[in-house]
Amino acid sequence: MVRDVFSVIAQIRAQGVTVLLVEQNVAQALGVADRAYVLENGRITLQGSGRELLQHDGVRRAYLGV
């Protein structure tokens, strides 16, 4: 089901439509995100491209178990 949802998101994005995605599956979400924000206690603590945040040490430790 998750794979299907992200496939549809990718199709919508490919049409040039903006998608606001709030998702707990960090790796999947950042993998499709042009722009991403990390919220902690209701505040933005990090922002950048999905690719940048996937490589960020803090994100990797806190959300990806790396």
Q: What is the pLDDT of residues 35-60, one digit of tens each?
A: 999 999 999 999 999 999 999 999 99
pTM over the 0.85 mark: no
DSSP E strand boundaries for the chain:
36-40, 43-48
Average confidence (pLDDT) over 15-25: 93
Closest CA to 49 of 63, 64, 40, 59: 59
pLDDT category, 65, cuts 50, 70, 90? confident
Tell me the mean pLDDT in the region 25-35.
92
Q: Looking at the predicted structure, is the pLDDT value of residue 66 above 90?
A: no
* Residues constituting the chain: 66
Mean pLDDT, range 4-30, rounded to an integer: 93
